[in-house]
């Protein structure tokens, strides 16, 4: 049975056996039982296959959520332009939704992101501005450039994925209920990393509400993000140190989306890149899953959370996207070497590093 809110999110269903276009195909992804890791931990380690969304990532839900919200509030009119600052996947989701709903799409992104993602955005018809990666405090930051560009353009909106809570709401009405139904309400812990915080906040709030606070919600962080220290120090934003090979995750501030869950988290911890890259390879080898580094980080974190919650627990995380968008990096000897990560791949998994 779909709950009313979820049915609303998934409107566009043509019949029970078919869905209404691209937007109707967003969500309703499988929850994958990770057999090897579950057996290793003695817990049920489950992962939401968000790479199966039609645009290939968890951000299809956020993209649809912010566009729907703008349409419903009358901010986005026929033939209008959607402008966003995005590290890639939200832009890809928005580019698809814009084509499907007849809008133009303009994307501002840091020029540090993978070429695969930039190329794909252009192929999807988006206008892409790859701008220098500068701190949020700098007016030239890609988000501020997106905001200013939309302001100057008639019939244009800035979807503002970081601070527009329609993003988290999309997960509250779709991803959260799906996980609750797929686990039949037996989820002890949910953990994922955050970029905007939309996934963690929307899913976390729903699961906490449905379980009357019993489901623990944890945040997993890459190196270079301030969120672990923020959560574990009870709210102090401390200096960030280091950097990460992961893309789309890690934060220097509490976004409005994250703010809706941050005080109700059970805890947070940082996952080093060495463990994330090893998990990219391990998931391929043991589960046959070809995933990006943020998904691998999430799985490392889910295994650690399972150990904290004890044998027999059920832990859920998110598989954000596939490795296709990063393969020239993650499977290249040269690139791994340049990041000092070649030794992080165990000998028996080195056969997957097929690119020079
Ligand atoms: C690959 C990847 N993983 C994880 C995330 C984080 O999701 P959220 O923005 O919902 O926190 C993103 C966000 O762009 C992403 O691109």
Q: What is the 3-state secondary structure (H, E, C) of 276-314?
A: HHHHHHHHHHHHCCCECHHHHHHHHHHHHHHHHHCCCCE
Is it the case that residue 353 has pLDDT exceeding 70?
yes
pLDDT at position 7, please?
A: 58
Asked if residues 329 and 245 have their Cβ atoms less than 8 Å apart, the reply is yes
In the predicted model, is pLDDT for residue 2 greater than 70? no
Centroid of ligand 1 to alpha carbon of 89 (angstroms) = 7
pLDDT score at 4 = 56
Least confident of 12-26, 173-187, 259-273: 12-26
pLDDT band at 236 (very low <50, low <70, confident <90, very high): confident
The DSSP code for 76 is: S
Both tokens assigned to 136:
């949020």
- 35, 40, 48, 59: the active-site residue: 59
Contact 134, 24 (CB under 8 A): no
Question: Which residue out of 58, 121, 176, 301 has the highest number of ligand 1 atoms within 8 Å of its CB and is therefore the one to mutate?
Answer: 58
For position 112, what pLDDT does the model report? Answer: 84
Task: Please say whether the beta carbons of 218 and 301 come within 8 A.
Answer: yes
Query: How confident is the model at residue 13, as a pLDDT?
Result: 40
Q: What is the mean pLDDT of residues 104-118?
A: 88
339 is catalytic: no
The tens digit of pLDDT for each residue in 171-191 reads: 999 999 999 999 999 999 999
Pocket of ligand 1 (CB under 6 A): 58-59, 87, 89-90, 194-200, 247-249, 292, 294, 320-321
The confidence band for 136, taking pLDDT boundaries of 50, 70 and 90, is: confident
The beta strands (E) that lie in the chain are given as 31-33, 44-49, 81-85, 104-110, 127-131, 156-158, 189-193, 216-221, 267-270, 314-319
Q: Are 87 and 247 in contact (CB under 8 A)?
A: yes
Q: Cβ distance 257 to 167 under 8 Å? A: yes
Give the model's pLDDT for residue 1: 37
348 Cα: distance to centroid of ligand 1 (angstroms): 30
Spatial distance between the Cα atoms of 193 and 297, rounded to a whole number of angstroms: 8
Across the chain, what does the average pLDDT equal?
Answer: 93
Task: Say what the pLDDT of residue 228 is.
Answer: 96
Show the CA angle centred on residue 56, arms to residues 175 and 8, nearest 5°.
35
Q: Where are the beta strands (DSSP E) in 52-167?
A: 81-85, 104-110, 127-131, 156-158
What is the number of the ligand 1 atom nearest to the C-alpha of 292? 1
């Amino acid at each position: 049975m779909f709950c009313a809110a979820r049915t609303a999110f998934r409107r566009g269903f043509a019949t029970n056996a078919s869905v209404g276009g691209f937007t109707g195909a967003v969500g309703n992804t499988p929850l994958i039982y990770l057999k090897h890791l579950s057996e290793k931990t003695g817990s049920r380690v489950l992962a939401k296959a968000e790479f199966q969304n039609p645009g290939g990532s968890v951000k299809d839900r956020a993209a649809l959520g912010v566009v729907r919200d703008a349409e419903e509030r009358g901010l986005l009119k026929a033939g209008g332009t959607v402008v966003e600052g995005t590290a890639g996947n939200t832009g890809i989701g928005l580019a698809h939704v814009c084509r499907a709903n007849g809008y133009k799409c303009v994307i501002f992104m840091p020029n540090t992101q993978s070429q695969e993602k930039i190329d794909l955005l252009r192929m999807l018809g988006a206008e892409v501005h790859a701008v220098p990666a500068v701190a949020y405090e700098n007016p030239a930051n890609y988000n501020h450039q997106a905001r200013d560009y939309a302001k100057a353009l008639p019939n244009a909106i800035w979807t503002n994925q970081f601070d527009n809570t329609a993003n988290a709401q999309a997960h509250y009405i779709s991803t959260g209920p799906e996980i609750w139904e797929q686990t039949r309400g037996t989820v002890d812990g949910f953990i994922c990393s955050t970029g905007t915080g939309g996934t963690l906040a929307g899913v976390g709030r729903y699961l906490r509400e449905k379980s009357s606070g019993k489901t623990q919600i944890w945040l997993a962080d890459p190196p270079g993000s301030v969120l672990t220290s923020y959560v574990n120090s009870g709210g102090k934003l401390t200096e960030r140190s280091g950097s990460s090979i992961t893309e789309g995750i890690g934060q220097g501030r509490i976004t409005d989306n994250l703010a809706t869950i941050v005080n109700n988290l059970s805890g947070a911890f940082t996952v080093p890149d060495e463990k994330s890259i090893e998990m990219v390879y391990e998931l391929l080898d043991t589960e046959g899953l070809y995933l990006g580094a943020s998904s691998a980080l999430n799985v490392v974190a889910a295994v650690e959370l399972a150990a904290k919650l004890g044998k027999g627990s059920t832990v859920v995380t998110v598989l954000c996207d596939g490795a296709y968008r990063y393969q020239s990096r993650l499977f290249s000897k040269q690139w791994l070497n340049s990041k000092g990560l070649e030794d992080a791949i165990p000998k028996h998994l080195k056969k997957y590093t097929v690119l020079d």
